[in-house]
Each structure stands twice: as structure tokens, then as C-alpha cells.
Amino acid sequence: MVVVMKRDATEADIERVSEKVRDAGGEAFVSRGAVHTIIGLVGDTASFMGLGLDNFPGVDHLIQVGKPYKMVARALHPQPTTVKVGPAAVGRETFTIIAGPCAVESEGQALAAARGAKAAGATILRGGAYKPRTSPYSFQGLGERGLEILAECREDTGLPVVTEVMEPRDVELVASWADALQVGTRNMQNFPLLREVGATSKPVLLKRGFAATVEEWLMAAEYVAQRGNSEIILCERGIRTFETATRNTLEVAQQESHLPVIVDPSHAMGHRELVAPMARAAIAAGADGVMIDVHHDPGEALCDGPQALTPADLLELSKDLNALALALGRQLV
């Protein structure tokens, strides 16, 4: 950590900061510039954070040099992690297709989507039983009945299931049915939920908040990891706001973290015709997988129909992804 002093900071101000740091067991190196004096702090950064140095007289601001996340940081685990969801592996060796209905609406609809996913080479089935909807008047999901249907689809296709859980008290129930737990974009900073999924033994698919920085996203993953569950898949879904690294945040996340990073082009784009280009871009940019909405009759979908691919569309996209994987020396599993 670096403390930047104000132009008019006095020697006493500088000494006060240095002493506080030494009292906390750290070292303070003072560099006096023409305009600003800066103080470099050496020692346990976390402990310095609690000293309130930004409120000391003469202090202009603090600059954090290290990263606040630890367990999910690539810096401390240089080897990329592979996460297993049932029999399927998600990681940098492979390129994983996760597909299925946005929302489970009925047995027939879910099965059609699941079989289409399987036929197109998907190795994990997605599907929502609990749906976070902007409007209280929209379809909110089938709840536990949806979980049962997903289990039937797993039975039928052999694909493991990832599904969303929306609140802490549902975690146990959802974990008893699903192979992996999804935390949605609106819940990325639902800390009680993160703690609860962190206490299970099921892998967690953590979607990025639509206005979250990469750092906040990784801090959310840290909440999960800190509870003992480091089987985490990060899922990019596009953001609503400016960030320096706007377009290739998955690259940034991969540099910063050892966790696998996949992309959800369906929710990122919202329009059917943009899903395939984005999925192709994802693999070309280095993502570890994609997660795609499928519906046999998008016009009748109860949730996000405009972005759903038909099973036939998915099959075609899958061929492109295969060709690209080959060109890039990756294995499409």
C-alpha cells in the first residue's frame, strides 16, 4: 500500500503515519517528491486497511497495490482450476457447452430442450426453476416442481444439471436436486446467499453482476471460497456500464483468477441473431465455455423467448464452435 500525502503535509503528519504503520507491525518507506511525499507500506496490507490512514491529517489518498482477493487469485494459484459438474469438466483444457431452457415451463418443453442440448454436444444442462424477474407480474418459475422436471431431464439425457438458487433458505433443497448451483447476476452481491452456497459441496456457477467490476466479481467468489467451496465457475454475461476492459473482461478474469470463466451469450445479447456471433467470439477470445438458452418454440417461451435458440440453431452453432476449437487447438467436450 502507498500513502500519498497532501502538498502541504508537515513532517509531523508524515511521522504520524509512519509511526502508526510501525505500531501495526509494518515498515514505512518515505519518498519525498517535489510536490508530493509518498510513503510505501510494507507488511500485512489487510491490517493496514483497518488503520484509517485516509483520515489522518496530511493524507491525500491511499493507493492499494496488491489485490484484495486471495483464495481465488491466480497470483497465489498459478495453475488454472478445472471444476467438475457431475461427469463434465469445465476448465482451460476443454470448451464446454452448457445449454437448456431459460425457465422450466413443463416436462415436455424441458425435455425437448434437454435433448436438443445433448444432440448439439452440450455436456451440462441448464434450466431455471426459480426465476428472478424484474416484474412481479412475470412468470416466476415452477419452483420445486421445476427441480423435479430437471431431474427427469438428467435421467433422460445423462447430462448433469445446473440451476439457479435465489435465497439462502432454498440452498439445501436446490442442492439436493442439482449438480451445480447458479448464483444469478442480481445476486452476485447477495452475501448471505454466497456464504450459504459456499457451505455446500456442490460447484457454484457465479454470474457477474451487470454493473460489477471484475474485482467485485472476484470478491464475490472469495465469499464462496472462504466458506470452503472453491469449485467455482465464473460466468460473464455482459455489463451495463463502463469498465476499462469492457470487451474482453473474461481475459482479465482469467489473468486475475485461476477459476474457469465461461460466457452466457444469450443473456449478454438478448437477441437470437446475436447469440451465435457472441458465442464464436467467446471461444476465439479464450473463454472456457458458453451457456446458451434453448427452446423448441421460442415464440411461446414464458421467459426470454427472443434470445432462445431452437435445437436446430444450437446444432449449427455447435458445428462452428467445433471448427473454431479445432483451429485454436482446443478440445470441444
Instruction: Write out the binding residues for a second copy, residues 57-86 only, by CB under 8 A.
Output: 63, 65-66, 68, 75
Q: Exactly one of 247, 312, 316, 331 binds a second copy (CB under 8 A); which one? A: 247
Minimum distance between the CB of residue 62 and a second copy, rounded to whole angstroms?
Answer: 10
**Which pairs from 266-269 meet CB under 8 Å and 24+ separation?**
266/102, 266/291, 266/292, 266/293, 266/304, 266/307, 266/308, 266/309, 267/185, 267/237, 267/238, 267/293, 267/304, 267/307, 268/236, 268/237, 268/238, 269/238, 269/307
- Residue 124 parent element (H or E): strand 124-126
Q: Which of 9, 14, 41, 180: binder of a second copy (CB under 8 A)? A: 41
Q: Is 22 one of the binding residues for a second copy (CB under 8 A)?
A: no
Please state, in angstroms and rounded to a whole number, the distance separating the CA atoms of residues 133 and 139. Answer: 8
Nearer to a second copy, 145 or 186 (CB): 186
For 330, which DSSP code? -
Asked if residue 143 binds a second copy (CB under 8 A), the reply is no
Under the binding rule (CB under 8 A), the answer on residue 12 touching a second copy is no
Query: Contact letters (x/-) for a second copy, 209-238, by CB under 8 A?
Result: xxx----x--x--xx--x-----------x
User: Are the CB atoms for 43 and 24 separated by under 8 Å?
Assistant: yes
Taking the complex as a whole, the smallest distance from the CB of residue 311 to a second copy amounts, in Å, to 16
Cα–Cα distance between 200 and 203 in angstroms, integer?
Answer: 8
Residue 285 touching a second copy (CB under 8 A): yes
User: Which of 92, 132, 156, 315: binder of a second copy (CB under 8 A)?
Assistant: 132
Of the listed pieces 86-94, 117-125, 173-181, 277-285, which binds a second copy according to CB under 8 A?
A: 277-285
Judged by CB under 8 A, the chain residues 182 through 211 that form the site for a second copy are 186-187, 189-193, 209-211
The one among 17, 83, 171, 301 contacting a second copy by CB under 8 A? 301
CA–CA gap between residue 137 and residue 149 (Å, rounded): 23
Does position 31 interact with a second copy (CB under 8 A)? The reply is yes
156-185 residues in contact with a second copy (CB under 8 A) are 166-169
Spatial neighbors of 179 by CB under 8 A, at least 6 apart, are 85, 86, 124, 154, 160, 161, 162, 202, 203
